Amino acid sequence: MSALAKVVYRPIGLAGSMLAGAAAGVVVKQIWGRVADEDDAPDALQAEYGLGEVLLSAAVQGMVFAVIKAAMDRGGARLFERLTGAWPGD
């Protein structure tokens, strides 16, 4: 059942990842707006920002995405287990 659970869960996990990415973008925008009084975090190719700002922006984006994705993955797996009786991982 575990192999079948993994196959069935794959589209659910993909949808969760897309939702996590969208949510992370909103959260990062909120954080950056409060920290830097700007609408968007700097991109690596924007010359008007220093290296420190670009690296800080990337670190915040990575951390927020990883935390939200982990929470979404875990929640989705638990819901899947409740509905099917099978854990999609392992």
Average pLDDT over residues 63-71: 92
Q: What is the pLDDT of residue 1?
A: 55
Q: Write the pLDDT tens digit of every residue in 3-26.
A: 777 788 888 888 888 898 899 989
For the residues 57-79, what does the mean pLDDT come to? 91
Confidence at residue 10, expressed as pLDDT on a 0 to 100 scale: 85
DSSP 48: T
* 14 or 89, greater pLDDT: 14
